[in-house]
Amino acid sequence: MADKIVRGILGGNVARVLAVDVAGVAEQACQLHELRGDAAKLAAESVVASVFLAGQIKGEERVSFQLQGSNPVCAFIGDVDASGGVRARFTPGVVTVPEQGRVEGMLLVIKSLPGKELYRGVTAVESETIEEALSKHLGGSSQVDTILCIRAEVDDGHVIYAGGILIERLPADPGRELEASAEFIVAFDPVREMTIPALFDAIGAGELEGVSFQVLEEQPIKWRCSCGQERVEAVIASMPLTELTAMLQEDGQAEVICHFCNIAYQVSGAKLEQMILAHASDDMN
């Protein structure tokens, strides 16, 4: 099953749904960064969380989801754009997560446009799973009833599945909000116990917990890194003249390794000389 995010509506206008399957992207992150055991599982769950947070962005918007763990000591960053491109990095390759997948640390969520930050939110992670921490973050930024499920299964460093579902109740008729809230939890809380394959089988059949499900949009999710030779050269060219000169004299070239996809980009000595000459020309003008 190809990676995707499915957007839909339950029961006409009862609830809005995002369903995510990102096993392929999570597997790519695990293999690129040589993740094993708990590190692979935590990274896979974090990739799911990243895609959920980007579920409603559009145009040139993008979302960055970051986890800075203190127990275990670890770091994750996932970037997602509005067209379904994802890149992710988790370090270190091996960690031991406390019982029941609970971690401690901080979550940072940033929504941005090129050159402009639109939103920044920080949430403490207090002996919680990624699912619980994200649910708390969403609850802190919205008053809407939500049911969130994140599931990932890893075997010998390989992702078997990674995905989940986010169900957000839509406003009820005036005067029925409390009743509608209680009905919503009773009706859809059992979704938390479903496996990812069973979840997508139900979505494909057009019904979830006995309530009709209408697919509004299905969007492919794929690994996409924004690195490239031109971008690397542009970054190096923007460095101070003294650093460019030292780089040429000491190493004779430059090498930049992308933190996300581990591709090594080489900038030749001749190219560095051109950059130095360009700097000198700018200084004269």
pLDDT, tens digit (0-9, with 9 covering 90-100), for 50-77: 999 999 899 999 999 999 999 999 999 9
How many CB atoms within 10 Å of residue 150?
26
- Average model confidence (pLDDT) across the chain: 91
38 contacts 97 by C-beta, under 8 angstroms: yes
pLDDT at 119 over 90: yes
Stated as kind and residue range, the H or E segment containing 66 is strand 62-71
pTM: 0.88
Confidence grade of residue 98 (pLDDT, cut at 50, 70, 90): confident
What is the reported pLDDT for 144?
73
What are the residue ranges of helices labelled H in the chain?
Answer: 23-32, 37-53, 130-141, 177-188, 196-205, 229-237, 241-251, 269-284
pLDDT in tens, 227-267: 889 988 888 998 888 888 888 888 888 888 888 988 889 99
Q: Which is more confidently placed, 164 or 11?
A: 164
Q: Specify the CATH number of the domain 4-223.
A: 3.55.30.10
Please tell me the predicted confidence (pLDDT) of residue 284: 57
Q: Which of 26, 84, 46, 91 minimizes the C-alpha distance to 218? A: 84
Report CA-CA distances (Å) from 108 to 54, 133, 163, 175, 233: 14, 11, 21, 36, 29
Position 25 pLDDT exceeds 90: yes
Residue 241 in tokens: 């003249």
For the chain, which residues make up each domain, given as ranges? Answer: 4-223, 229-284
Q: Please, what is the end-to-end C-alpha distance for the chain in angstroms?
A: 58
Name the class of domain 229-284.
alpha beta
